[in-house]
Each structure stands twice: as structure tokens, then as C-alpha cells.
């Protein structure tokens, strides 16, 4: 799609979300593994998200937010 040209593999929101997720995870004392377990995801996938390598779905955002005991919109507020 021409919209994504010049933005690399993923749109700019992906690395912003990656930084926000890592910050919230660390602030709440979760390891990648414990967050993965709480959200029903793999530790490898959490790492990919935090490195900005995965363009995740809204469903995954919701699972991560619930595991972190926060609202999904809070994870999307940069």
C-alpha cells in the first residue's frame, strides 16, 4: 500500500506501542515471561512486540492490558 511507503516494515505506532508496553510491564514488576503467562501469549511474542517487530491486533492489546490490570486505551496513550 502506498500509505506505508517510506515508513519501514511497520507503521510508526508499532515502536511507540513497543516502548509503552515495556515501560508499563517494568513499572508493574512483570518479567516478559510472567506477562506472557498472564496474557496467554508466548514469551518470544512479548519480546517481538517490545522490539517493535510485530504489528499486533487489537485483541492482543486487550489481552496485554488485562494482564497488566489496565484498560486497553491506556496502553495506546503515548
C-alpha cell recorded at residue 17 = 506501542
CATH number (domain holding residue 14):
1.10.260.40
Distance of alpha carbon 30 from alpha carbon 8, whole angstroms? 30
> What pLDDT, on a 0 to 100 scale, did the predictor assign at position 60?
98
Q: What is the percent of the chain where pLDDT is above 70?
A: 90
Q: What is the mean pLDDT of residues 37-57?
A: 97
Number of domains in the chain: 1
Boundaries of domain holding 25: 2-75
| pTM for the predicted model, two decimal places | 0.86
Amino acid at each position: 500500500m502506498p500509505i506505508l511507503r517510506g515508513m519501514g516494515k511497520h507503521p510508526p505506532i508499532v515502536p511507540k506501542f513497543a516502548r509503552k508496553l515495556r515501560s508499563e510491564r517494568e513499572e508493574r514488576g512483570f518479567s516478559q515471561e510472567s506477562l506472557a503467562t498472564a496474557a496467554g501469549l508466548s514469551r518470544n511474542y512479548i519480546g517481538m512486540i517490545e522490539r517493535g517487530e510485530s504489528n499486533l491486533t487489537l485483541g492482543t492489546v486487550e489481552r496485554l492490558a488485562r494482564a497488566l490490570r489496565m484498560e486497553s486505551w491506556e496502553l495506546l496513550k503515548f
